[in-house]
Amino acid sequence: MSVEKQELEKVVIKFAGDSGDGMQLTGMQFTGTSALLGNDIATFPDYPAEIRAPQGTVAGVSGFQVHIGKSQVHTPGDHADVLVSMNAAALKANLNYVPVGKTIILDTDNFKKRDWEKAGFEEDPLSSGVLDKYNVIEAPITSLTKAALSDLGLDNKSVVRSKNMFALGLVYWMFSRPMEHTESFLNKKFGKKAPIIAEANIKAMKAGYNYAETIEALASAFTVLPADLEPGTYKNVMGNQATAWGFLAAAEKAGLELFLGSYPITPASEILHEIASYKHFGAKAFQAEDEIAGVVSTIGAAFAGNLAITTTSGPGLALKSEAIGLAVITELPMVIVNVQRGGPSTGLPTKTEQSDLLQAMYGRNGESPVIVIAASSPANCFDYAFEASKLALEHMTPVILLTDGYLGNGSQPWKIRTMAELPKISPKFVPDSLKDDWLPYMRDEESLARYWGVPGQKEFIHRIGGLEKDELTGNVSYDPMNHEVMVKTRSEKVRRVANYIPDLKVEGVYEGDLLVVGWGGTYGSLLTAVNQCNCEEGKTIGIAHFNYINPLPKNTAEIFSKFKKILVCELNEGQFIHVLRSNLPEFEYTKFNKIQGLPFTVNELHDAFNKILSED
Amino acid sequence: MIETKEIEYKPKDFSSDQEVKWCPGCGDYAILKAVQKAMPLIGKKREDIVFVSGIGCSSRFPYYMDTFGFHGIHGRAPALASGVKLANPDLSVWQITGDGDALAIGGNHFIHAIRRNMGLNILLFNNRIYGLTKGQFSPTTNLGQKTKSSPQGVIDNPFHPGELILGAQGTFFARTVDINPRHLTDIAVDAEKHAGTAVIEILQNCVIFNDKVFSDYTSKENKHDALLYAEHGKPMIFGKESDKGLRLNGLEIEVVTIGENGVTEDDLIVHDAHVVNPTLHFMLVRLEFPMVLGVIRSVEQEPFEERLTKQVAEVEAKSPFKTMDDLLQSGETWEIK
């Protein structure tokens, strides 16, 4: 190869096309291959709510963004360094995300007058000058694919479907990636059932690769060397998959069967799909008739002694509220996962938002405290699903685990855990010493967790329910003082969880002018922006990112006190800031928010940090 | 499988220490006694029995049974029961519900539980009124009846619970009445023997808000001529003198008198609870006079939990992942040194 390879630190590539063009698959293949080369990775699929929105329109554009790096990568990237645009609509939808001077690869076969008009361009973008400032590679991808596959005797539809592989081959060459990974994937996927389709796809990919090598438009090819990650064995995981595996691991560690009661909802359904595949690990995935039955069957399973989980997204959590109250008063262990999306109501089903923190905290009738925790990367969805299960089982309370569409659908290299290295989980079964005089609401003195006496054991025959309970026997009690005691005990039980969770960590600097505060899925963007400000501009910014929200870590106030200003950054109108103001009113908080169904970009955070630092 | 052998329990072993708080004269007392009598006959250990309920007068029932019990939230007991059963299929799970709980707020859960055919026993107390909220009409209240929330008379069409159950592909439906607790005890035992969801509708008198709603059927003077106790394989005969019967006339059921107009016992319908086609059962549940009681439908079908167990075994045999670590390390992995 005569082309000189240029080494890049990081690069962001976006594949965009019609929602039927196979862009998700193309992006995942590029991701998988890059992961095997040892790059650090973050991905973000961006797809329409409609399964097949009108072809050729901006509404129907499906994209997959992947950020690969030699150094650590914390976000899928703000901007695309390379945009692969399979039609005019994909260009229209993504042009704003490509900085001047970067590369755009276009399938010119889909830039006819009808195409660019449908996409909403007023003039032909190929000749109007809008692309003048970019490095544009015009390739008739569709017709080249047709030509390459002409001798296979395939129907036109199947031929055209292979064009995404042509584009992938082209990008593989640009970034010096081998094709073996995708080749074996295609053989595995189609090899037995439709070997001709596997052959067509592989042929199209190779044609794209060779085409890229041949044409002069690609002045240089790039390479991104392996990243400097912690030693270990890695695999690429998506957040929702990691969540499911965290629960499977927790059930095994606790010695319990796993029960998932769930109703399909975007963007949480993948957790249900994943758990449904592992029945032989004692995992039971029950697809209920609605959200309410999902959570209530979960409560039934918790009563009967399973590790009980329900999964949903915002509107589903609203439907589950009454039942979560039942789990609070019956003090049963269960986890409610909310893969958040834009709200209110049906809102933005496929877009991300930190929409439901306040709903998770307060969205129930009566005094109804639960533990609330949040994952902060696709890979650590595993750890927080495991942790949510451990807290539920050891503290006998419902736990709400918040992730979001960005984490759930995003992917990242995950350092594989072994079962041996995971912490122990000790469900709050009745200790032998209490067996003879056990009462349903007897508690562990330190944690205030009640003990779990499950059906099948004679000593523990008892009745519970949604009416207020006597503080010891659990019988129905309308006694005024008992009610007050019970409300306070349930609340104190959750408060004491603070004694069992890790301290809040600060990164960046430990004291200084500004503390950036975030929670959940924004960690990658916030950390990248803070590091950039500190390293490149010599600022003194700390970042405290919360995974534990109710209760807050015990050292929160101590950390806050070391900084002059606190900026709470959220993808909502300001929810965590309410929680902080009511828990730690002695500090002053400023907020920075974005509510566009999109993650923060590093640039906008950078500007926000500079703005608050410049104010006095 | 259920062992029919009687375990050494007495009905009072199933009576909890909680004071029963239904209104004096409520039909629920007789139902409670009848169910407590059935428990020693079902061949289950006390600790393997769970009663769950929703909200309403009937839903207090679990507190009065000395078994495991869970008083849930309004309408959701089928989901609660399903979770309990799936978590531990060895348990005998009983759901107590009422006409409002099962057919109004919980209608969706009710039909889906029946459709799935999990091993649940559902006792539907039908008093055709809301009792706990003090006298509003329910989905089974008669058309035209005046209640607190229908001062000019109900204009909603009532459900026939049996039709709903058959329509949801129920495999077991029986009907009984609070004035005949012995009959309920027998049917409860049949219900437990049935693999799959068994629903028993119990006509129950609310002495405060809907007193005598069933008196056309249940009063001393009416009960022989207005109630027919169906038994599988036997002709459909009723009446004080056992001289009346049901005969099929085209697609209608008609009441005939044996010995009149040349009618003999051979002309009567022989009850077939086991026939898969539910047409006869639909006709029987819709019949207003006489009211047909007993096991109206009882057909065999593999219950949900057995299908699940089979799938587990299949996945176990096929899956490349035998341990959790196998799964965690599956797929494409790479080493960073």
Distance (Å, whole) CA A560 – CA A566: 7
Q: Which residues from chain B sit within 8 angstroms of residue A281, using beta carbons? A: 321, 324, 327
Does the pLDDT of residue A54 top 90, yes or no?
A: no
Number of neighbouring beta carbons within 10 Å of residue A582: 9
Alpha helices for A175-216 (secondary structure H): 180-190, 195-214
Q: Give the best residue of B80, B85, B197, B305 to mutate against chain A (max A CB count within 10 A).
A: B80
Min CA distance, B328 vs chain A (Å)? 7
Q: Select the residue of A248, A259, A290 nearest B108 (Cβ to Cβ).
A: A290
ipTM: 0.96
B67 touches chain A (CB under 8 A): yes
Q: Select the residue of A292, A302, A456 nearest B48 (Cβ to Cβ).
A: A456
Distance (Å, whole) CA A333 – CA A298: 10
Question: Residue A219 has what pLDDT?
Answer: 52
What are the start-end ranges of the E strands in A128-216?
Answer: 135-139
B2 phi/psi in degrees, rounded to 5: -90, 135
Q: Select the residue of A229, A284, A457 nearest B336 (Cβ to Cβ).
A: A229
- DSSP state for residue A560 in the 8-state scheme: H
Q: Which residues from chain A sit within 8 angstroms of residue B16, using beta carbons? A: 463
- DSSP state for residue B104 in the 8-state scheme: I
Min CA distance, B184 vs chain A (Å)? 24
What's the whole-number average pLDDT of chain A? 93
What's the whole-number average pLDDT of chain B? 95
Per the structure block, which two tokens stand in for A245?
A: 């595996």
Residue A8's pLDDT band, with cuts at 50, 70 and 90, is confident
Question: Residue A256 has what pLDDT?
Answer: 97
Question: Residue A48 has what pLDDT?
Answer: 73
Give the DSSP H/E element, type plus range, for residue B327: helix B324-328
What are the start-end ranges of the E strands in A70-128?
Answer: 82-85, 103-107
- Do residues A174 and A221 touch, judged by C-beta distance below 8 A? yes
- DSSP state for residue A591 in the 8-state scheme: E
Are B79 and A322 within 8 A, CB to CB? no
Residue numbers of B between 30 and 59 with CB closer than 8 Å to A: 45-48, 50, 52-53, 55
Per the structure block, which two tokens stand in for A222?
A: 């790039």
Distance (Å, whole) CA A21 – CA A297: 39
Q: Is A594 helix (H, G, I), strand (E, B) or coil?
A: coil
Question: CA dist A513 to A566, A567, A580, B277, Å?
Answer: 9, 11, 19, 78
Residue numbers of B between 93 and 112 with CB closer than 8 Å to A: 108-109, 112
Does the pLDDT of residue B1 top 50, yes or no?
A: no
Question: Residue B332 has what pLDDT?
Answer: 82
Give the DSSP H/E element, type plus range, for residue B199: strand B198-203
Radius of gyration of chain A (CA): 26
Lowest mean pLDDT among A47-56, A126-135, A424-433, B299-308: A47-56
Q: Which residues from chain B sit within 8 angstroms of residue A297, using beta carbons? A: 79-80, 82-83, 86
- Residue range A71-125, pLDDT digits in tens: 888 889 889 999 999 999 999 999 999 998 889 999 999 999 999 999 999 999 9
Q: Select the residue of B18, B85, B329 nearest A416 (Cβ to Cβ).
A: B329
The CA-CA-CA angle for residues A7, A13, A16, to 5°, reads 155
Distance (Å, whole) CA A516 – CA A508: 10
Does the pLDDT of residue B29 top 50, yes or no?
A: yes
What letter represents residue A377's amino acid? S
Distance (Å, whole) CA A458 – CA A463: 13
Quick one: residue A56, left, alpha or beta (phi over 0 = left, psi -120 to 50 = alpha)? left
Q: Give the best residue of A296, A336, A389, A418 to mutate against chain B (max B CB count within 10 A).
A: A296
Q: Which residues from chain A sit within 8 angstroms of residue B335, using beta carbons? A: 232-234
- Do residues B21 and B60 touch, judged by C-beta distance below 8 A? yes
Q: Which residues from chain B sit within 8 angstroms of residue A252, using beta carbons? A: 324
Instruction: Compute the average pLDDT of residues A11-35.
Output: 92
Residue A70: closest CA among A209, A176, A171: A176
Residue A318's pLDDT band, with cuts at 50, 70 and 90, is very high
Residue B5's pLDDT band, with cuts at 50, 70 and 90, is low
Are A233 and B324 within 8 A, CB to CB? no
- Residue range A485-527, pLDDT digits in tens: 999 999 999 999 999 999 999 999 999 999 999 999 999 999 9
Walk me through the domains of chain B, giving residue ranges and CATH numbers: 11-233+272-308 (3.40.50.970), 235-270 (no CATH)
Q: Give the best residue of B71, B110, B314 to mutate against chain A (max A CB count within 10 A).
A: B71
Distance (Å, whole) CA A494 – CA A491: 5
Q: Which class for B10: exposed (0-12), middle (13-18), buried (19 or more C-beta within 10 A)?
A: exposed
What's the residue count for chain A? 616
Residue A1's pLDDT band, with cuts at 50, 70 and 90, is very low
Are B91 and A419 within 8 A, CB to CB? no
Instruction: Compute the average pLDDT of residues A571-585.
Output: 98
- Residue range A163-205, pLDDT digits in tens: 999 999 999 998 889 999 999 999 999 988 899 999 999 999 9
Question: Residue A46 has what pLDDT?
Answer: 81
Min CA distance, A381 vs chain B (Å)? 14
Q: Which residues pair with A16 in a beta bridge?
A: A63, A85
The b/e string for A412-429 (b: 16+ C-beta within 10 A; e otherwise) is bbbebbeeeebeebebbe
What letter represents residue A504's amino acid? L
The CA-CA-CA angle for residues B177, B182, B183, to 5°, reads 50
- Do residues B269 and B248 touch, judged by C-beta distance below 8 A? yes
Distance (Å, whole) CA A446 – CA A439: 17
Min CA distance, B294 vs chain A (Å)? 30
Question: CA dist B300 to A201, B78, B276, Å?
Answer: 50, 21, 8
Walk me through the domains of chain A, giving residue ranges and CATH numbers: 5-224 (3.40.920.10), 235-421 (3.40.50.970), 506-614 (3.40.50.920)
Q: Select the residue of B63, B85, B336 nearest A463 (Cβ to Cβ).
A: B63
Min CA distance, A305 vs chain B (Å)? 7
Q: Is A569 helix (H, G, I), strand (E, B) or coil?
A: strand
What letter represents residue A196's amino acid? I
Q: Which class for A231: exposed (0-12), middle (13-18), buried (19 or more C-beta within 10 A)?
A: exposed
DSSP string for residues in B129-161:
SBTTTTSB--TTSPTT--BTTBTT---SPPP-H
Alpha helices for B74-118 (secondary structure H): 77-87, 99-100, 107-116
Min CA distance, A434 vs chain B (Å)? 18
Residue A218's pLDDT band, with cuts at 50, 70 and 90, is low
A475 touches chain B (CB under 8 A): yes
Residue B335's pLDDT band, with cuts at 50, 70 and 90, is confident
Residue carrying the six token digits 């001062």: B151
Q: Is A62 helix (H, G, I), strand (E, B) or coil?
A: strand
Per the structure block, which two tokens stand in for A19?
A: 């929602």
Residue carrying the six token digits 């449904």: A276
Residue numbers of A between 311 and 330 with CB closer than 8 Å to B: 322-323, 326, 330
Does the pLDDT of residue A467 top 90, yes or no?
A: yes
Question: How many residue pairs from chains A and B have C-beta atoms closer than 8 A?
Answer: 207
Q: Select the residue of A32, A300, A458 nearest B87 (Cβ to Cβ).
A: A300
Distance (Å, whole) CA A337 – CA A389: 11
Distance (Å, whole) CA A200 – CA A136: 27
Q: Select the residue of A293, A326, A463 nearest B109 (Cβ to Cβ).
A: A293
Q: Which residues from chain B sit within 8 angstroms of residue A462, using beta carbons? A: 68-69
Alpha helices for A215-349 (secondary structure H): 239-254, 269-276, 291-303, 314-330
What's this model's pTM, rounded to 2 decimal places?
A: 0.91
Q: Which residues pair with A425 in a beta bridge?
A: none
- Do residues A539 and A613 touch, judged by C-beta distance below 8 A? yes
Distance of CA A446 to the CA centre of its chain: 34
Instruction: Compute the average pLDDT of residues B119-142.
Output: 97
Instruction: Compute the average pLDDT of residues A317-341.
Output: 98
